[in-house]
């Protein structure tokens, strides 16, 4: 089978690594890819926003199956366009991608189908939004409705911050994405990521993970795309796992089907484990980055039949096996990220780092030039490791990080801290 993978981040390197290991694959391309993905797949310089060019490539190269990594092409309807051209693709349709593309859409779905989430209001003008936050009080969460590259959420600790966020969003800080604003109850508890695979009719759980969104140690500084992750998280006990499937994932799949927009692909639920039980605070319609990297390390089964089953409505009775080991990934980013950063700095020591037991290095923003690996983005490398505990995976990942010579890069030193604390205390 010939497969084309779309994307260029650490998530896509992990997917390419896993897909390339499948005996079903004859040929794997990745568009546009990166220097690490080039080891697993043939990278092609396609503009993935140009759906006609992607379709053309598939026809010319007899591509049987397209796997879409990031949300932007999904929200732009690439899966629908490929389907119209007779090409199978893994991921949700444009309509189903609204679970990530519109926070108001997801909140309304939760209300309609009784999915636990925070109380909320939807607003299209600042005056009504301001009246609502003044009535509710702080802390409160202000969200731009649409896709805003992870920057459209303000967790306001004071009324003043909430008022400023409302003003900023209605002033057009996020363009059309902020034309509607969702204001949500502040949920307190532990935040976890829960992944499931759906075929439109049913869903199977993948695994749980924890991301680290803030840029600095001790969860300080601005939000990023994610500075590291580990899986599984001890905070998703078997009981909580079953509750999330029964109260959040399966009602969402049933609701999307009932509305005539079945969801096929990876459902990534952002869940707060509150004293009143797990509550959904957001959906994403694709694998998390960097959560995907740890999920791929832990997945024992071939991923390709699972993706085909999701696409073809055949997930019922499907089973995925996982390695019992934990996995952890540390993101190395260019100094200055998530603000301004330099490109083109040289990274050395990668082979030495990759030789640490249990370690796998996935590339995000890298290019290869004259035999050297150069940084080419904000998040640049994912140094991943497996281990018999999160603590062991963490030790191995940082041993590898310390072998990488890249003075212009940085990483957090405390990825996995919640699970490591938990393991140390033994509960």
Burial class (CB in 10 A: 0-12, 13-18, 19+), 133: buried
Using the rule CB under 6 A, is 336 a contact of ligand AMP? no
Among residue numbers 115 through 154, which ones bind ligand GLY (CB under 6 A)?
none
Pairwise CA distance, residues 6 & 394, whole Å = 30
Residue 12 touches ligand GLY, criterion: CB under 6 A: no
Which partner, ligand GLY, ligand AMP, none, binds residue 118 by CB below 5 to 8 Å per kind?
A: ligand AMP
Nearer to ligand GLY, 291 or 414 (CB): 291
Q: Which of residues 199-218 bind ligand GLY (CB under 6 A)?
A: 211
Strand runs labelled E in 114-244: 120-123, 140-144, 153-156, 181-185, 190-199, 203-211, 214-216, 220-223, 228-231
Tell me how far, at minimum, the Cβ of 382 lies from ligand GLY, in Å: 11
Region for residue 6 given its phi and psi (left: phi exceeds 0; alpha: psi -120 to 50; beta: otherwise): beta
**3-state secondary structure at position 314:** coil
Site string for ligand AMP, 213-252 (x = CB under 6 A): x---------x-----------------------------
Closest to ligand AMP by CB, 72 or 376? 72
Q: How far is the CB of 276 from ligand AMP (least distance, A)?
A: 13
- Positions in 255-284 near ligand GLY (CB under 6 A): 284
Give the closest residue to 40 by CA, choosing from 57, 59, 22: 22
Cβ contacts of residue 263 below 8 Å, gap of 6+?
92, 96, 99, 198, 200, 252, 253, 256, 257, 285
- d(C-alpha 411, C-alpha 189), whole Å: 25
CB closer to ligand GLY out of 55 and 141: 141
Rounded (5°) CA angle 146-147-150: 125
Give the interface size with ligand GLY as a residue count (CB under 6 A): 7
Closest separation between CB of residue 112 and ligand GLY, Å?
A: 25
Minimum distance from residue 71 beta carbon to ligand AMP (Å): 12
Per-position x/- string for 290-329, each x denoting binding to ligand GLY as judged by CB under 6 A, each - no binding: -x--------------------------------------
Q: Tell me how long the chain is.
A: 427
> Pick from ligand AMP, ligand GLY, none: which does 291 bind, CB < 5 to 8 A by kind?
ligand GLY
Among 270, 277, 313, 349, binds ligand AMP (CB under 6 A): 270
Smallest gap from Cβ 362 to ligand GLY, in A, equals 14
The entry of ligand AMP, ligand GLY, none that residue 191 binds, CB within 5 to 8 Å by partner kind? ligand AMP
- Smallest gap from residue 282 Cβ to ligand AMP (A): 4
- Residue 155 interacting entry, from ligand GLY, ligand AMP, none, C-beta within 5 to 8 Å by type: ligand AMP
CA distance 247 to 151: 28
Pick one of 164, 191, 243, 423: the residue that binds ligand AMP (CB under 6 A): 191
Query: Which CB, 38 or 148, lies closer to ligand AMP?
Result: 148
Give the count of beta carbons closer than 10 Å to the beta carbon of residue 282: 18
Binding partner at 101 among ligand AMP, ligand GLY, none, C-beta below 5 to 8 Å by kind: none
| Residue position matching structure tokens 């008022």 | 163
254, burial (CB in 10 Å: exposed 0-12, middle 13-18, buried 19+): middle
SS3 state of residue 290:
coil
Measured CA distances, 392 to 216, 402, 423 (Å) = 22, 16, 10
* Span interacting with ligand GLY, options 131-139, 231-239, 287-295, 335-343, rule CB under 6 A: 287-295
Q: If 0-12 CB within 10 Å is exposed, 13-18 middle and 19+ buried, where does residue 110 land? A: buried
**Taking Cα atoms as reference points, which of 401, 393, 398 lies closest to residue 419?**
393
Residue whose token pair is 């390695």: 323
Q: Residue 150 interacts with ligand AMP (CB under 6 A)?
A: yes
Residue nearest to ligand GLY (CB): 226
Nearer to ligand AMP, 223 or 389 (CB): 223
H helix and E strand count, the chain? 15, 23
Residue 358 makes contact with ligand GLY by CB under 6 A = no
Which residues are at the interface with ligand GLY (CB under 6 A)?
211, 225-226, 284, 288-289, 291
Which residues are at the interface with ligand AMP (CB under 6 A)?
118, 141, 150, 153, 155, 184-187, 191, 213, 223, 270, 281-282
């Amino acid at each position: 089978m010939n497969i084309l993978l779309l994307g260029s981040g650490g998530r896509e390197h992990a997917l390419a690594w896993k897909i390339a290991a499948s005996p079903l694959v004859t040929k794997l391309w990745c568009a546009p890819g990166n220097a690490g993905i080039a080891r697993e797949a043939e990278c092609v310089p396609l503009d993935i926003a140009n759906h006609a060019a992607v379709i053309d490539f598939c026809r010319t190269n007899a591509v049987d199956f397209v796997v879409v990594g990031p949300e932007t092409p999904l929200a732009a309807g690439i899966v629908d366009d490929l389907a119209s051209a007779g090409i199978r693709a893994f991921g949700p349709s444009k309509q189903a991608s609204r679970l990530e593309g519109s926070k108001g859409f997801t909140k309304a779905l939760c209300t309609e189908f009784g999915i636990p989430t925070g109380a909320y209001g939807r607003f299209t003008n600042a005056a009504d939004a301001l009246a609502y936050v003044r009535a509710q009080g702080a802390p409160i969460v202000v969200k731009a409705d649409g896709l805003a590259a992870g920057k459209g959420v303000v967790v306001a600790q004071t009324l003043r911050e909430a008022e400023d966020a409302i003003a900023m969003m209605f002033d057009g800080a996020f363009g059309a994405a902020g034309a509607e604003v969702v204001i949500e109850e502040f949920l307190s508890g532990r935040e976890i990521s829960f992944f499931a695979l759906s075929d439109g009719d049913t869903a199977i759980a993948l695994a749980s993970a924890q991301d680290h969104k803030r840029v600095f140690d001790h969860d300080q500084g601005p939000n990023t795309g994610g500075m590291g992750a580990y899986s599984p998280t001890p905070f998703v006990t078997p009981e909580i796992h079953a509750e999330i499937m029964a109260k959040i994932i399966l009602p969402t799949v049933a609701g999307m089907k009932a509305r005539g927009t079945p969801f096929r692909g990876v459902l990534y639920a952002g869940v707060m484990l509150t004293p009143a039980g797990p509550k959904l605070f957001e959906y994403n319609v694709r694998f998390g980055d960097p959560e995907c990297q740890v999920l791929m390390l832990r997945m024992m089964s071939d991923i390709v039949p699972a993706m085909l089953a999701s696409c073809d409505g055949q997930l019922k009775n499907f089973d995925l096996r996982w390695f019992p080991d934990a996995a952890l990934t540390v993101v190395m980013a260019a100094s200055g990220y998530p603000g301004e950063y330099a490109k083109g700095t040289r990274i050395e020591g990668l082979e030495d780092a990759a030789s640490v037991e249990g370690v796998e290095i996935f590339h995000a923003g890298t290019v290869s030039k004259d035999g050297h690996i150069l940084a080419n983005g904000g998040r640049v490398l994912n140094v991943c490791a497996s281990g018999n505990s999160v603590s062991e995976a963490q030790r191995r990942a940082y041993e590898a990080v310390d072998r990488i010579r890249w003075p212009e890069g940085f990483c957090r030193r405390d990825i996995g801290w919640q699970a490591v604390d938990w393991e140390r205390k033994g509960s």
